Structure 1
Amino acid sequence: MSGRTHARVCPERTCVGCRERAAKSELLRIVVVEGECVPDPRGTLPGRGAYVHPAPACLALAVRRRAFPRAFRGRAPLDTTALSQFVEQATP
């Protein structure tokens, strides 16, 4: 043994709303399904994912900055109603 501690490294992602880095487990993964942003809390849906803090403030900031079309490399605006409903229900 070399004497080094073997701490597990936690993957980090960047929130598209506030642009802060956080642990992947603290963020909500979002994917696009038929032109609509859909929450993916288990992280199992196929396709490109974007991450946002599950807080209404970060979600509103991402929508205002038009971060979702940029993250998914699209040009058309995406529907975020299902996403906002999910975040509102998840927030205590």
Structure 2
Amino acid sequence: MGPLRTCVGCRATGPRSALLRVVVERGGTGAFEVPELVVDVGRRMPGRGAWLHPEPGCLEKAERKRAFGRALRVAGQPGTSAVHRHLERQQQDVVG
């Protein structure tokens, strides 16, 4: 089965292969750094990662609970627009 990870949205555990890994990508410079989440498709990007089921409901729960900031140990709530786009593309591929 492989290593188990916990979804930051629903808190259910699952195999690593069934969850998305997201990491913080820093944008801007100095005091104006804006943390933004990106999907680590290869699961090899450096830094601390958070795991999420590839479902919009889990992403919404994680945003509502402000789980990404805690899980990734960043101040504030990082932006999730790239994760939303990734999930939308993934669902379009399944439907289309």
TM-score band w.r.t. shorter chain: 0.7 to 0.9
Q: What is the TM-score with the length of structure 2 in the denominator?
A: 0.83
In 2: Cα distance, 1:82 partner to 1:75 partner:
19
Larger radius of gyration: 1
Q: What is the TM-score with the length of structure 1 in the denominator?
A: 0.87
- Structure 1 residue ranges, 4+ long, deviating more than 6 angstroms after superposition: none
In 2: Cα distance, 1:18 partner to 1:77 partner:
18
In 1: Cα distance, 2:61 partner to 2:53 partner:
11
CA RMSD for the aligned pairs?
Answer: 0.9
AA of the residue aligned to 2:24: V
In 2: Cα distance, 1:60 partner to 1:89 partner:
17
Partner residue in 2 for 1:19: 11
> Percentage identity across aligned positions?
45
Higher helix share goes to which structure?
2
Partner residue in 2 for 1:81: 81
Which runs of no fewer than 5 residues in structure 2 stay unpaired?
Answer: 27-34
**Structure 1 residue 26 displacement after superposition:** 0.1
**Structure 1 residue 20 displacement after superposition:** 0.1
In 2: Cα distance, 1:10 partner to 1:77 partner:
30
**Structure 1 residue 88 displacement after superposition:** 1.3
Which runs of no fewer than 5 residues in structure 1 stay unpaired?
Answer: 1-8
